[in-house]
Every structure is written in structure tokens, then in C-alpha cells.
Structure 1
């Protein structure tokens, strides 16, 4: 139930050619408190509810619990989420023995593209694709829960 993840900005769109699949995601938050974020997500015909705990000091590791729920229930829960529902297209890209999930954000987060990789160990090595930009692991403004409150378009203009 521990998630070890690193996040990076993306510097080109060549990941699209390398992607083997893409999924539209709509997600909202029932709670955005960093100590216990509760997310509702809808993708295609599936729904999910996820609880995430506080991130460790380097931003790579935190508690995560997720369960699939019926699509219809996810849709109803999205109706009662906090303001700031996020829409994004997720591209799945293999790199060596790992998988990168590259998210292109829409609406108030338009223009933001983030790549995430889940690891088995904090210090695990992985192949960095050419389109991978600077690392933003541990920077709270790039957390989806924070993007729902303070979207990219609002801080990008400052």
C-alpha cells in the first residue's frame, strides 16, 4: 500500500508516438487535505476511489489505497467533489522495464504535461526518455489535488 513515484515535466510531445495506449481521465477530490487526500476518478467504463496519505520528506513515497467502483457511482461522487474537477488525457509509454504515465491536462490546467513513473524502490534506476524534462517530485503545486485548487493557468500567468 506504499506508492513510490517520481514526477517530471515533459519537454516535447514525442511521447505520443511512443504511447501504446491513451485514456481520458476525469477526477475530483472529496478531500484535498495533504494528510488524507480522497480522490474519485472515472476512466472509460471504470471508476475508482483512492485515499492517499502524506508524502515523505523527499516527495517520493506515500500511503495509497485504491479500489475500483462502478462507473455510475464514480459519476455520482464526482458531482459532490470539491470545486476543481480535473480532466486529462493519459498516455501509457514503456521505457525499459518501466511504465511512464504521461498526463496532458485540459481546462484550467491546459498546457501542463507531467510524466510519472512508479518504482519498487526509492533509489531504483530507470531509462529516461528524451522527452523527459525537469523533475518536480515533491513539489506540491504539481500534485493533482493542488492543481484542482490552484490550477496551472492561474500560477503560470504570475
Structure 2
């Protein structure tokens, strides 16, 4: 129930050619506090409820609990979520022994593309695809819960 992952920006759309899975995701947050988030997600035609704890100091590890729930319940819970529902398409790309989940955001987060890789331990090495850019692990502004509050198109960088 401890999730270990690293997060990166994406430098090109080459991941689309390498993807073996593509799914539309809509998600909202019942609670988006950094110490604990409660997320409702619809991925393709399935519903999920997820609870995440506070991230470790370097942002690579945190508690995660997730359960599939009926689609109708996920749709009802989405209506109760805080403002700022996230819409994205997720591409899954196998690279060596790992699978990268590449999220292409839409709506108010249009233009942001982020890749995550889950690891068995913090020091685990992995193959880096050519399209993998700057690491943003632990940068809270890239957390979906924060993108729902301050979307990418509002950043002044």
C-alpha cells in the first residue's frame, strides 16, 4: 500500500507511437489536502475510489489505497467533488522492465504532459525513453490534486 513513483515532463509526442494502452480519465477530489487526498476516478468504463497519504520528503513515496467501485457510484461521487475536475488521456508505454503512464491533460490543464513510473524501491534503476524530460518528482504543483486547484493554464512561468 506504499506507492513509489517518479514523475517527469515529456519532451515529444513519440510516446504515442510506443503506447500499448490508451484510456480516457476523468477525476475529481472529495478532499485535496496535501496530507490526505480522496480521489474519485472514472477510467474508461470503470470507477475507482483512491485515498493517498502525504508524500515523503523527496516526493517518491506515499500511502495509496484504491478500490474499484461501480461506475454509477463514481459518477454520483464526481458530482460531490471539489471544483476543478481533471480530464486527461493516459497512455501506457512499456520500456524495459517498467511501464510508464503518460498523462496528456485537457481542459484547463491543456498542454501539460507528464509521465510517471512506479518502482519497487526508491533506488531502482529504469530505462529512460528518449521523450522523457525534466524530473518533477515531489513538485507539488504537478500533483493532480493541485492541478485541480491551480490549473496549468494559470501558471505564470
What TM-score results when the alignment is normalised by the length of structure 2? 0.99
* Counterpart check, 1:132 vs 2:132: yes
Deviation at 1:21, TM superposition (A): 1.0
Instruction: Note the 1:11-22 alignment, pairs <5 A.
Output: 11-22=11-22
Instruction: Quote the offset at 1:20 in angstroms.
Output: 0.4
The Cα shift of 1:43 comes to 1.3
Q: Which residue of 2 aligns with 1:7?
A: 7
TM-aligned CA deviation for residue 144 of structure 1 = 0.2
Alpha-carbon distance between aligned partners in 2 of 1:153 and 1:140, rounded to the nearest angstrom: 16
1:32 partner SS: strand
SS at match of 2:124: coil
> Deviations 1:45-98 (Å, cap 9, x if unpaired)?
200000000000000000000000001100000001000000000000000010
1:34 aligned residue: 34
Distance in 2, matches of 1:82 and 1:3, equals 24
Structure 1 residues 65-80: aligned runs within 5 Å:
65-80=65-80
Q: Secondary structure at the match of 2:147?
A: helix
Aligned to 1:141: 141
Shift of 1:112: 0.0
Runs of 5+ in structure 1 lacking a partner?
Answer: none
- Provide the alpha-carbon RMSD of the alignment: 0.6
Q: 2: distance between equivalents of 1:148 and 1:118?
A: 22
Other-structure match for 1:43 = 43
